[in-house]
């Protein structure tokens, strides 16, 4: 077991002057809170490809570098949770603002987490907390892609190869499939 300085973890409690076993600053490898919206159509889920549109910065916190790096692959509609935003409100924001689909119904969020040594953080441990929300489309809705998406389409996650995803969303989809309630 490593010897930690006060305020250097290992418990994921982030607050100045928290417990000596919490973090007084964000962990070196970073920490993200994300909401992912799973909109289903039979066995298929709605996935999108990012367009290189600066609107993504205010919609989901995606800068130009990330849009370009991940734009070729399919991603689950989602966003980083904004400071002070409750996960249910974040899911509704993804549905109404990012996908532009009014009138959906939303499940309660399911929480999943991951911690892994991240290449983007020099191998330091990165923490992800994911809120998975299932959404039901309103009657009569037809697929149309908002201008900040290059494409939105229905895909069967059982047949879409991992290489077709962007931003490691194959892992997000796999975790959602493993943990979703059985119908």
pLDDT tens for the chain, 183 residues: list them: 455 677 877 787 788 877 888 888 888 898 899 999 999 999 999 999 999 999 999 999 899 999 998 989 999 999 999 999 999 999 999 999 999 999 999 999 999 999 889 888 899 999 999 999 999 999 999 999 999 999 999 999 999 999 999 998 999 999 999 988 776
Radius of gyration of the chain, Cα coordinates, nearest whole angstrom:
17
87 is a domain residue: yes
Residues 6+ apart with CB under 8 A from 40: 46, 134, 135, 136
Max CA pair span of the chain:
59
Residue reference for tokens 């809170």: 33
Domains identified in the chain, total number: 1
123 is a domain residue: yes
1 is a domain residue: no
83 is a domain residue: yes
pLDDT at residue number 1: 44
**DSSP one-letter code for 78:** E
C-alpha angle 4-131-142 in degrees, rounded to nearest 5 = 155
On whether the pTM is more than 0.85, the answer is: yes
Q: What is the CATH number of the domain that holds 40?
A: 3.90.79.10
- Cβ atoms of residues 8 and 14 within 8 Å: no
72 is a domain residue: yes
pLDDT at residue number 26: 85
**DSSP one-letter code for 94:** I
135 is a domain residue: yes
19 is a domain residue: no
The domain of 120 spans 31-179
Residues 6+ apart with CB under 8 A from 166: 49, 50, 70, 71, 72, 73, 74, 75
pLDDT at residue number 16: 83
Q: Tell which residue, 124, 135, 119, has the closest CA to residue 168.
A: 119
pLDDT at residue number 4: 66
Taking the C-alpha atoms of residue 134 and residue 154, their distance in angstroms, rounded to an integer, is: 15
43 is a domain residue: yes
């Amino acid at each position: 077991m490593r010897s930690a300085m006060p305020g250097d973890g290992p418990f994921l409690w982030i607050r100045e002057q928290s417990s000596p076993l919490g973090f007084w600053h964000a962990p070196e490898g970073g920490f993200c809170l994300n909401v992912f919206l799973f909109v289903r159509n039979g066995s298929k889920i709605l996935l999108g490809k990012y367009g290189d549109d600066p609107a993504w910065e205010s919609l989901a916190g995606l800068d130009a570098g990330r849009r370009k790096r991940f734009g070729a692959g399919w991603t689950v509609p989602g966003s980083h949770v904004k400071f002070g935003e409750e996960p249910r409100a974040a899911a509704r924001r993804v549905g109404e603002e990012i996908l532009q689909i009014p009138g959906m119904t939303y499940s309660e969020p399911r929480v999943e987490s991951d911690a892994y040594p991240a290449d983007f953080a020099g191998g330091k441990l990165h923490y992800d907390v994911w809120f998975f929300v299932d959404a039901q489309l309103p009657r009569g809705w037809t697929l149309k892609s908002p201008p900040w998406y290059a494409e939105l389409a229905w895909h069967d996650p059982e047949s879409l190869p991992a290489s077709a995803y962007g931003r490691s969303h194959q892992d997000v989809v796999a975790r959602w499939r493993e943990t979703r309630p059985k119908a």
